[in-house]
Structure 1
Amino acid sequence: MKTNFFIPAMIFSIILLMLSCTKDFEKINTDPNNVLSVAPQQLLAPALRASLNYNMIRNRNFNNELMQVTVDMSDGDSRVFRYDYRSTWSDYLWNGIYIELTNFKDMYHIAKGDSTQPQTSYMGISLILQSWLYSILTDTYGDVPFLQANSARKEYGDVKEPAFDSQKDIYLGLFHNLEQANQLLKAGQPVDTKSDPIYHGDVAKWRRFGNSLYLRLLLRVSAKAELASAITGKIKEIVETSSSEYPVFTNNNESAILKWTGTGAYISPYVNGVRAQDFRSPGIAEFFIDNLKYWNDPRLDGDNYGIDGISRWGIAKSGGEYAGTESGYPVGADITRGSYFYATDQAAAITMQSEPLSGMMMNYAELQFILAEAAVKGWISGQAESYYKEGVKNSITLWLPEWNVDIDTYLATPASSGKQWTETASVNDKMEKIHVQKYYALFFADLQQWFEHRRTGHPVLPKGSGLENNGVMPARMVYPVYVQSTNPTNYKRAVQQQGPDQIYTQVWWQKP
């Protein structure tokens, strides 16, 4: 009798216990400090900081080595400045950018919401930043996942092995996204000031950045015959016929730069990610420093802008003078490092390691050089010389706002400097003049120097005898090795379509 009563009672107690345990289970087991949903403004700043981290690290140790800003003083194999690098170099930028593209994609979809009250400005900003990052990816590797990229989650399609899109299709997609962004930002819907480390809530400036980036990318593919008419027509539309519908940068203050404050989350990646001794170890290349010396450029020597002994670009003298190091020197050569960039642990007035302006995305001077090239080629009616002078002036005043030397005086000094514009010069000579100056305007701008050199062949760089790859500037990074095993079918299709997965295989816009 007792036993018969005890068993049902025990079962009933267990049921009650289970009910009490499951009551408010979700509430009890949810970490109040770990929010399950986010607002678009919460994604913007962290994703921007991280994106610049990847870009800046590869700017320093990849772009700068290829483009003769710096020279690695380590005399060994697989040195980037010799046009030779291991396939493992490919992983860092690929992995990092795709991670941040996921964040920007999330930002777009959260801002879009149920479409009844979309946050259109965040949607537009997301499309601009996705276009910026995808352009860096495709210009680095060629054909890459685009339409199916970042779609592993069920709500995005549950695509675990995304197809590689052709670079042509990627660029057409980027143009579409930037058109959309321009319209989304037109309404000027407010953006939270604190969430925006670039423009601090100024939506009009984001719109100018998007359209300036549009011109950069249009120019990038302008040599492709199948798109030439449409591309040049669009450039003219943005610059002239519909300029009010496509506002672009009008001064340095509108440049897209995340300025590192040195506090909190806004500390330069060169401070947190590069040891001081490593930052100052490369020599500065002869090409980079000799032009500045010859031009009496104020960015090199403070004496040229009234501050004794200070280089605005934090360049240390060697033996009492600014001296460059030969790039492309052969293995075993007896090379001595000359000038270098000061690091934070040195008693230097200025160091690029903590420089606020190093968070460069795109600046006003670059836009002016884009317009100068378009004018030289007859695509727009403006005067190439005027755009050129405006580009040179603002390339300097971005770093030295107090510099007030007449631009004609600067360009004429010394008389043989080659800086002066000559209207009767050939198109090739004008291109060289524009792109030598653009090279300096692109200082710190991710891999843009490399992209532009591959597109144009300018500026003409000296070639050391120790170069690999037959002395030809590498055309791309190879795909990360792990992609061959994680996405084998689409990897093989990409290689079949684009060409061998080697550094000498040209991407679509480089090919005739």
Structure 2
Amino acid sequence: MKIKNIFLALLATAALTSCVQDLLDTNKNPNEAQIAQPDYLLTNAIKSSVDTYWGTTNNLDGTLLFAQHVAKIQYTEIDRYIASNTTFESPWKSFYSQGLRDLAEIIKIGETENQPNYKAVATIFRSWVFLLLTDAYGDIPYSQAININEYITPAYDAQKDVYHGLLNDLKTAVALIDPTKKAISGDVIYSGNLTKWKKFANSLRYRIALRIADKEPEVAKQAIAEIPVADLIGDGETAQLVYLTSPNQNPIALFFETRDDYRVSKSIVETLKSLNDPRLPVFANKTETATPEIYIGVPNGLTTSAASALGFSKTSKIGTYFTSPQTPGVILSTAEVLFGRAEAAARGFTTENAETLYNQAIKASLKQFGITSDDVVNAYLAQPSVKYNSANYKQSIGVQKWIALFGQGLEAFAEWRRLDYPQLPPAVAGTLDGKIPVRYIYPGSEQSLNLKNYKAAVARQGADALTIKLWFDVN
């Protein structure tokens, strides 16, 4: 009887196992791969992250306003710094749940299937995404992020530790790149060119080194000393996603297909006018109704009624260059690298010539926006208002880098906070007692889902408010 019972139990177990397996087989989608493909994941991670970087919620409704590249002519609340704990929810969620999730899976595949180049490229791009997050919010989940099996509520790393970790991650990723190993696919930035990915990684290291230069100059200097100039992004090697036509158009172009509530900021229009800058007609359109000034920017932070009173047709829309479907989403440009090298030289971190590099950086920016005439370029550089001022390199580099980064809201915002130039006016009807925001506040979902770690971050870096400076921002 005992043997019979055992036999019946085994038979039942086998039947149940068979049923479960049948159920699993039945629920498999025959049209969907059961094992993630790193090339598809890489394409999706790049596009989703660049879309977020250049898109509406993070860019037009956030850092482009704070850096005063654009201004609102309708619905001006965010331009007046009226924000809630849901205002900056979208970039946080998008970066963590889309880009970083896919990149983590690629890194895992690279490790388990001995594909070091996928791991290297995913680590490099992941470093860029983490850098955007920490530049915007400060302390963030980093070392425990995207590891839900171990950390459902990840701890926040201090911003200083995130920067140090990213410097190490990028150095490790560069060492991983091996042209003799399997090539990568799905790369919509460099088409699998590993040499350019190495340059992108080193250029990111350079960016991070300068980000911490005011707090830790010796660490910054050492990091820069480890990077040969030949291993940085050069002419024609800008890291960017070149968009296509609908439905894969530039997200700013997509937005302006149906909306008209933004204009170019008065701050940048007046700066470009004062410098006789040939980029003005690239960044701004002429007013639709003819005006004596031709280009008219909107002051940041007007009330909705005051902004509307300026006239939709009598103020300058964002230039057609930026609202075209195929406008590239720039991630890190040749001009930025040259400005970085100029600053490193000015700080005494290198023996290069700061003025020469500054001029080269301006030329690279002009070229990026289609201005290549030698006469125009040389005339611009010859102006006293443009010439490099070695007595105040932060002013010279800060103003010109702010111009060169037009459209790249998060990076322009970070560099404005770090270099403290140009000196921007606060919102006309702002709500921060004459101050301009210097960070994003954390999304409300963190208070709901990760309260303990959220509170620890706030206790460490200060109140969760738009006016609380982050670790790297010393002045």
Q: Same fold by TM (over 0.5)?
A: yes
1:372 aligns with 2:342: yes
Query: Which residue identity does 1:250 align to in structure 2?
Result: G
Query: Which residue identity does 2:70 align to in structure 1?
Result: T
User: Partner of 1:199 in structure 2?
Assistant: 190
Query: Which residue identity does 1:437 align to in structure 2?
Result: Q
CA offsets 1:230-262 (integer angstroms, 9 cap, x no match): 211221332xxx446xx11111x2001101121
Which structure is larger by alpha-carbon Rg, 1 or 2?
1
Matches within 5 A, 1:111-510: 111-113=110-112, 118-152=114-148, 154=149, 157=150, 159-185=151-177, 187=179, 189=181, 191-193=183-185, 195-224=186-215, 227-238=216-227, 242-243=228-229, 247-251=231-235, 253-262=236-245, 266-272=248-254, 274-278=255-259, 280-301=260-281, 312-313=282-283, 315-320=285-290, 321-329=294-302, 333=306, 335-337=309-311, 338-341=314-317, 350-400=320-370, 402-405=372-375, 407-412=377-382, 415=383, 418-423=385-390, 426-427=391-392, 430-510=393-473
CA offsets 1:167-221 (integer angstroms, 9 cap, x no match): 111111101100011111254645345x111111111111111110111111001
SS at match of 1:257: strand
Match of 1:49 among 47, 50, 66: 47
- How has the CA–CA distance of structure 1 residues 82 and 342 changed in structure 2, closer, same or farther, with 3 Å as cutoff? closer
CA offsets 1:295-353 (integer angstroms, 9 cap, x no match): 3333333xxxxxxxxxx34623254311112223357547404433369xxxxxx4522
**Kept in 2: contact 1:316–1:342 (CA 8 A):** no
Mean CA deviation greater in 354-363 or 490-499:
354-363
Cα RMSD (Å): 2.7
SS at match of 2:335: helix
Q: What stretches of structure 2 of length at least 5 have no aligned partner? A: 1-11
Distance 1:189 1:123 in 2: 12
Distance 1:144 1:336 in 2: 40
- How has the CA–CA distance of structure 1 residues 192 and 233 changed in structure 2, closer, same or farther, with 3 Å as cutoff? closer
Query: Which residue identity does 1:420 align to in structure 2?
Result: K
**Kept in 1: contact 2:44–2:102 (CA 8 A):** no
* Percentage of identical aligned residues: 28
Mean CA deviation greater in 354-363 or 104-113:
354-363
Distance 2:54 2:179 in 1: 33
- How has the CA–CA distance of structure 1 residues 328 and 211 changed in structure 2, closer, same or farther, with 3 Å as cutoff? same
**Kept in 2: contact 1:87–1:481 (CA 8 A):** yes
**Kept in 2: contact 1:188–1:203 (CA 8 A):** no
SS at match of 2:88: helix
Q: C-alpha displacement at 1:85, in angstroms?
A: 2.0
User: Partner of 1:30 in structure 2?
Assistant: 28
Distance 1:330 1:15 in 2: 71
Q: C-alpha displacement at 1:509, in angstroms?
A: 1.2
Higher normalized contact order (CA 8 Å, seq sep 6+, divided by chain length): 2
Distance 1:292 1:63 in 2: 20
- How has the CA–CA distance of structure 1 residues 188 and 317 changed in structure 2, closer, same or farther, with 3 Å as cutoff? farther
**Kept in 1: contact 2:190–2:196 (CA 8 A):** yes
User: Partner of 2:82 in structure 1?
Assistant: 84
Mean CA deviation greater in 206-215 or 59-68:
59-68
- How has the CA–CA distance of structure 1 residues 485 and 20 changed in structure 2, closer, same or farther, with 3 Å as cutoff? closer
**Kept in 2: contact 1:108–1:123 (CA 8 A):** yes
Q: C-alpha displacement at 1:149, in angstroms?
A: 0.8
TM-score by length of 2: 0.88
Residue-pair matches, total: 456
Q: What stretches of structure 1 of length at least 5 have no aligned partner? A: 1-13, 302-311, 344-349
**Kept in 1: contact 2:283–2:322 (CA 8 A):** yes
Query: Which residue identity does 1:72 align to in structure 2?
Result: K
TM-score by length of 1: 0.82
